[in-house]
Amino acid sequence: MEDLERLKSWKGRRVFVTGGTGVVGTNLVTRLDAYTTQEVLDLIDRSGPATPVPSNARYVLDQDPAWNSAAAYLNDYMTSARNLLSGLGKTVELNSDSVYVTSRQDVIGYVSWGSNDHNAENYTTHAEPLNSWVPGALVETYVSTSGRSFENPPSYGQSLIADLIEEGVSGAKGYVYEPYSTSMANPSVLFDRYATGYNLAESYFMASRYISWMDVVVGDPKTSIQEIEGKLPVQMTYLHATAQVGSGTVELRWSTLSELNNYGFKVQRADTVLRGFTDVEGSFVAGHGTTLNPQTYTWLDRNVDPGVYLYRLKQVDLDGAVHFSEQHRVAVTGAVASVIDASLPQRLALEQNYPNPFNPSTKIGFRVSGLGSSAVRLAVYDMIGREVAVLVNDARSPGQYEVAFAPEHSSSMASGTYFYRLQVGERTETRQMMYLK
């Protein structure tokens, strides 16, 4: 009943567009939708007028140069957005190469080609960016049917904005049918308006050349943002989730750089078939209130049924405000002799390094699946494909592994972006990391 009342209190919120002579007569109406009712409630909780966001929250603009011959103007929108936001003093990452960007922290705005990116499947599944989002975050993906379904479990084809809502965004524009690319939201307008005081509904409306039945905007229409100095109350440095082979136990480790009014954390888990994050019973871990000292936490999720799961943290402030971490995918097996993660391609075996960006060292986790030993090679490459270091080059039995990488031992390495690639048999997976010297 409480959840129903919360939904009723939101129903019917509308934004009236006004001009110099009064109300124009247009109502901008958005909707609430997600895989589960709980996800809708979570969306409401991280939205609303004057939502506080850190002043250094990140805008991520992920181009795909392979589209320059067919729809260059959509990539140009991102370049224009970068220029405008940089002029406003915002933190902006414009990626113009073939890498599909994932695992970014404190994201307030995001645009990509989603499943239309020619390289997305080399870095993630269903084009999910696996970002950590600040409350109030808005997104747009250049995908013609991204809003066609919120069914649980989802049926794919093209990527879905429902996955982004599940990750933690507060607003998303999607499409239920081919809308033509000219009707997609222009991020140079969307983020410029949103960053300068307009609300969610107004920003999406002004950024869209056409509005029709094919569009769907999800989110509280009155959501707007108010910058605060520095980061949000708790600065997460990493979250790492690993399954102990054959034990039905998942170990979560995470670290904070500093904490402000941190009541604590709850572990949330979602089945990748029946979507929807829920709190794991008995998972609350107390925070350290306010501290400037780094803190490390661990928690074990025991007796987990075999399957593939997503894990994340729900961090709770002393005033009740909640924030969500990025997600981690984990395959759980029941018996030591069973095949580990056999239902997933090997490209899912490589995890994001942590910390990232890093200096002086970082750790890279990976998982070897199957029966018997496999030839495993893990190497680091620079932006033009030159091999920088080989971290693993031997046979490994099925299991979870972690290796350290300390670039200071290589005098030829400069600050910048690097790639690390895991090869197991004929399958490979590649991820990106940032080294700050």
Question: Residue 327 has which token pair?
Answer: 């997600």
What CATH number did the domain enclosing 376 receive? 2.60.40.2550
Answer whether residue 340 is part of any domain.
no
Residues 244 and 188 occupy one common structural domain: no
Residues 173, 46 within the same domain: yes
Question: Are residues 90 and 72 both part of a single domain?
Answer: yes
Q: Residue 116 has what pLDDT?
A: 96
Unique residue bearing structure tokens 């750790």: 363
Residues 214 and 249 placed together within one structural domain of the fold: no
% of the chain with per-residue pLDDT over 90:
38
Residues 303 and 361 in one domain: no
Residue 360 lies in a domain: yes
414 and 383 Cβ atoms separated by less than 8 Å: no
More confident residue, 359 or 185: 185
- Residue 105 inside a domain? The answer is yes
**Domain end call among 193, 211, 228:** 228
Collect all residues with Cβ–Cβ distance below 8 Å to 365 and sequence separation of at least 6. Answer: 240, 242, 351, 400, 401, 402
pLDDT for the residue numbered 265: 95
Out of 160, 194, 228, pick the residue that ends a domain. 228
Residues 221, 240, single domain; the answer is no
Among 330, 363, 341, which residue's Cα sits nearest to residue 431? 363
User: Is residue 237's pLDDT more than 80?
Assistant: no
In sequence order, the 6+-apart residues with CB closer than 8 A to the CB of 223 are 47, 48, 49, 51, 136, 170, 171, 199, 200
Judgement on whether residues 311 and 378 belong to the same structural domain of the protein: no
Q: Is residue 341 part of a domain?
A: no
- Single-letter amino acid, residue 420: Y
Tokens of 160: 């879905």
Cα-based angle 120, 124, 130 (whole degrees, multiple of 5):
110
> Which residue, among 420, 286, 251, 247, has the nearest Cα to 349 in the 3D structure?
420
pTM check: above 0.85 = no
Q: Which of 168, 197, 228 is the last residue of a domain?
A: 228
Residue ranges making up the domain that contains 424:
346-435
- The answer to the question of residue 153 being in a domain is yes
Same domain, 371 and 357: yes
Encoded tokens for 61 = 């603009």
How many structural domains is the chain composed of? 3
pLDDT in tens, 342-375: 333 333 468 888 888 888 888 898 877 665 667 8
Kindly state whether residues 201 and 66 are assigned to the same domain. Answer: yes
Would you say 107 and 143 are in contact if contact means Cβ atoms under 8 Å apart?
no
Query: What is the predicted pLDDT for the residue at 11?
Result: 40
Report which of 340, 329, 280, 281 is spatially closest to residue 306, judged by C-alpha positions.
340
Contacts for 159-164: CB closer than 8 Å, 24+ residues apart: 159/114, 159/115, 159/120, 159/126, 159/127, 159/128, 160/126, 161/218, 162/33, 162/34, 162/35, 162/275, 163/126, 163/128, 164/110, 164/128, 164/129, 164/139
Residue 338 falls within a domain, yes or no?
no
What SS3 state is found at 121? helix
- Tell me: pLDDT of 218 over 70: yes
pLDDT-derived band at 260, boundaries 50, 70, 90: confident
Greatest CA separation for the chain: 75
Residue at 337 is within a domain: no
Higher-confidence residue of 258 and 198: namely 198
Residue 249 in domain: yes
Q: b/e per residue, 156-174, with b = 16+ CB within 10 A?
A: eebbbbbbbbbbbbbbbbb
Give pLDDT tens digits for 9-68: 444 343 333 333 344 567 788 999 999 888 898 899 889 999 988 888 999 999 999 999
Residues 320 and 350 in one domain: no
Kindly report the average pLDDT of the chain as a whole number: 83
Beta bridge partners of 402: 365
Which of the residue ranges 143-152, 245-254, 264-273 would you say has the lowest mean pLDDT? 245-254
Chain segment 124-172, per-residue pLDDT in tens: 889 999 888 989 999 999 999 999 999 988 888 899 999 999 999 999 9
8 Å CB contact between 155 and 126: no
Residues 377 and 308 in one domain: no
pLDDT score at 309: 85
Do 70 and 211 belong together in one domain? yes
d(CA 76, CA 88): 19
- Local confidence band at 196 (pLDDT 50, 70, 90 cut-offs): very high
Would you give the distance in Å from CA 90 to the centre of its chain?
Answer: 19
